[in-house]
Amino acid sequence: MPGLFILPQSLADDPQSELAKIADSGIDSLNLCMKYHASRHLSIRNQAAMIHTRDGDHFYPVNPKSYSVENSRPYDHGGFKLNLAEFGLLKKSADRLSISLGAWSVFLHDAQFGLDHPGTFVSNLFGQSLQPNLCPINPIVQSYILGHTRELIGLGFRHICFESIGFSGFRHNEHHERYFVNSSPTTEFLMSICFCAACTSLFAQNGLNHTQVKKVMQDKVLQALNGQDEWLGDELTKSALEVALGNEFSQLLEVRVRGISDLITEIGEILKDANVSSRFLDGSPISNRVSDHPYEDLWQSGLDISKLAHTFDYIEPLLYRFTTEENLRVFSNYKDLLGGEKLVGALRPAYPDLNSPHLLPDRVRRLFEITGGEFDFYLYEIIRDPEWEILSKLLALSSSN
């Protein structure tokens, strides 16, 4: 079932005509963005229009009743949104064209929510706020995640794509960043670990002396930043961290994973009760472009691949590597680990993943073959006419076979 990621701004003016064009291309599934982070998109398919999105914007009217903790609901700061009547028309048009309409949200990359709800940003070992990254252990943030999930279910989507529900890396930060230090992945990871009130409370509940652990981390990181980083050129691994920082630090990492796993269990229960299909969008293939087993890095985000696979109906690795062979190797390893029935692939048919349209047919054919046709294309707005025509022809050929 070929699908497509799309921003709702592209459907606002004439959803029926735009959806008809998409259906004519052979696409029969949409991941409609309901929340994104601050960015600007050059929309080739909308005559080079510039689409601006802001942190905290929800592209629909928020329902406060969806949030079990009252002060966890997102505030309305204006911005683009589809009203319920427009959304109803969009759903009817999708149904008429046999397009399965799913939701896609970026949950925890949200500076506005953190500013509106003090104490919800990640706070690192130096007490530095790492906005726009929200802490997934924080109970206010957890209530927000569950409430937003309930809202998407209430809007009637067939499936929901979950992006950014764990911890983010140190450099996953703001718009204009300055890091004039040649620091290792290990040093940067240590600078990303959250010691906010919610996290330290969780550590204490599990018998960890987080104050001592943090002091050891501070000494190591300051030494790395002020002098020679002893981990430069080294791979970031749990075993190396345990050698450098001790067994209690390893336990701290495990506690983080268990804390987020409990949250994921709650998400799964909501989805199961509503009988809504779900997908976890796994960005590890692009956060680590070297490894052919990038899911092994998910612990750095406090995530467990087995827990994710148990909870969500599909794992969707973002195969945004630069060569077909790389993407095939990565997806093959996911398939060996999880089985093909648990996977949907995601492909960017655009630069820099593809330097030329002539590379697209081979990549799509080979990835479709290994995925059984369960594939999404990212992003409608960035696909140029040459690539769009190639995709349409390939999808038409695929459906005829």
Where residue 297 sits, what CATH number does that domain have? 3.20.20.80
Q: What is the pLDDT of residue 76?
A: 94
Do the domain assignments include residue 46?
yes
pLDDT in tens, 259-282: 999 999 999 999 999 999 999 999
Do the domain assignments include residue 190?
no
Q: Please answer whether residues 253 and 238 qualify as being in contact, where contact means their C-beta atoms are separated by less than 8 angstroms.
A: yes
Do the domain assignments include residue 159?
yes
> What's the mean per-residue pLDDT of the chain?
95
Amino acid making up residue 7 = L
- With bands split at pLDDT 50, 70 and 90, how would you rate the model's confidence at 401? low
Give Cα 63 distance to the centre of its chain: 23
Q: Which residues pair with 160 in a beta bridge?
A: 103, 278
Separation between Cα atoms, residue 9 and residue 353, nearest integer Å: 24
Give Cα 105 distance to the centre of its chain: 8
- With bands split at pLDDT 50, 70 and 90, how would you rate the model's confidence at 400? low
Do the domain assignments include residue 131?
yes
Do the domain assignments include residue 233?
no
- With bands split at pLDDT 50, 70 and 90, how would you rate the model's confidence at 397? confident
Do the domain assignments include residue 326?
yes
Range of the structural domain that residue 44 is part of: 3-182+278-400
Do the domain assignments include residue 89?
yes
What lies within 8 Å, CB to CB, of 337 at 6+ separation is 295, 305
Q: What is the mean pLDDT of residues 102-118?
A: 97
Q: What is the mean pLDDT of residues 357-364?
A: 95
Q: Please answer whether residues 392 and 26 qualify as being in contact, where contact means their C-beta atoms are separated by less than 8 angstroms.
A: yes
Q: What is the pLDDT of residue 27?
A: 96
Separation between Cα atoms, residue 87 and residue 77, nearest integer Å: 20
What percent of the chain shows pLDDT beyond 90? 92
Q: For residue 70, what are its two tokens?
A: 């009252």
pLDDT in tens, 217-260: 999 999 999 988 999 999 999 999 999 999 999 999 999 999 99
Do the domain assignments include residue 58?
yes
pLDDT in tens, 149-183: 999 999 999 999 999 999 998 876 655 556 667 89
Q: What is the pLDDT of residue 309?
A: 98
Residue 352 has pLDDT above 80, yes or no: yes
pLDDT in tens, 17-70: 999 999 999 999 999 999 999 999 999 998 999 999 999 999 999 999 999 998
Separation between Cα atoms, residue 36 and residue 157, nearest integer Å: 17
Query: How many domains in the chain?
Result: 1
Angle at Cα 283 formed by Cα 331 and Cα 307, nearest 5°?
80
